[in-house]
Amino acid sequence: MRIAWAGSTPSNTPIWVADQKGFFKKNGLNAEVIAISASTIVIQALLTGELDLIIAPSATLVTSRLAGADTIMVSTNLPLFIDHIVSLADITTFEQLKGKTGGVNRLGTTSDMTLRLALRRLGIDPERDTKIIATGENPQRLAALSRNITQFTLLGEPLVHEAEKMGFKDLLDIGTLKIPYHVNAVVTREKTVKERRAFVGKVVRAFTEALHFIKTNKEETKALIGKNLKTTDPEGLERAYKAYNAAFPEVPRPSWEGVKTLLDDLAPRNPKAAAADPKTFVDTSFAQQLETSGFIKQLYKR
């Protein structure tokens, strides 16, 4: 099978674990795991059949499905936002973000969607009140902030810790807003689910085992995050593990609420989003089956 992921953040820990700790192999999957620079590129490869599955956010799923694709989410690894808005030290209130420039990976990607949704929840219109530009992945976003190209940006741990050490302000932990949204999920096509159901089931099981590994093997997981993010900062890795581990689910059932957040946000500007039923974007049967069969209870020895 061929599966791709995008973005160097700890939200991708489940696929790193599934691949590098042998859970794909254990489930009889000969996996070619491919890193691609942005989730917007990944979707094209899925739709042309170059990939069997992708690791993608609600945004990639929703935009492709509203455009007529048969994309479907079969499992979730991270069902809510947990990034932070980090700003220049002299910005101490949300109101002060008005008139400033914010940095994201690329326009239309998860980081962009996260920042815009969070700003709206804070009463700031991202289109009218701020300017949002593409400055690259987490390390490049921090570099743009330090050069004052941007005055605020979206970062995840362990780079929030790094930014604080450089004198920047951790203005908001978006996780405190508890916005349901699939930041990192397993997406495939309905065609694949229909024609290769047993195969998709094995993939979901491999991710479920990877999530269990993360929750029960802290030091090995931290080492893996450090290796993939090329960092050895012990406090930053501890903070990253703590933040992400708390948000990773035991049961990877993809909730329709994590799709509805985005549809509601798009609805005023997109009639298709307003008319869409979020329940048709997710297939919960694979995670449901693992739960009802007692597989997950057995994993956690309950």
Contact 103, 88 (CB under 8 A): no
Domain with CATH 3.40.190.10 in the chain: 2-80+181-299, 84-177
Rounded to two decimals, the pTM is: 0.89
User: Which of these, 270, 224, 252, 260, lies nearest to 66 by C-alpha position?
Assistant: 270
Radius of gyration from C-alpha coordinates of the chain: 19
pLDDT digits (tens, 9 = 90+) for 70-105: 999 999 999 998 899 999 999 999 999 999 999 998
pLDDT at 287 over 80: yes
pLDDT digits (tens, 9 = 90+) for 248-285: 999 999 999 999 999 998 999 899 999 999 999 999 99
User: CATH assignment of 2-80+181-299?
Assistant: 3.40.190.10
Tell me the percentage of the chain whose pLDDT exceeds 90. 82
* Average of per-residue pLDDT across 12-31: 97
Q: Which residues contact 99 (CB under 8 A, 6 or more apart)?
A: 129, 130
User: CATH assignment of 84-177?
Assistant: 3.40.190.10
Residue 124: pLDDT band with limits 50, 70, 90: very high
Q: Residue 127, CB half-sphere, CA atoms under 13 Å: how many?
A: 2
Contact 23, 206 (CB under 8 A): yes
How high is the pLDDT of residue 113?
85
- Helices 58-66 and 110-121, packing angle to 10 deg: 100
User: Which of these, 226, 6, 227, 11, lies nearest to 137 by C-alpha position?
Assistant: 6
* Average of per-residue pLDDT across 182-206: 97
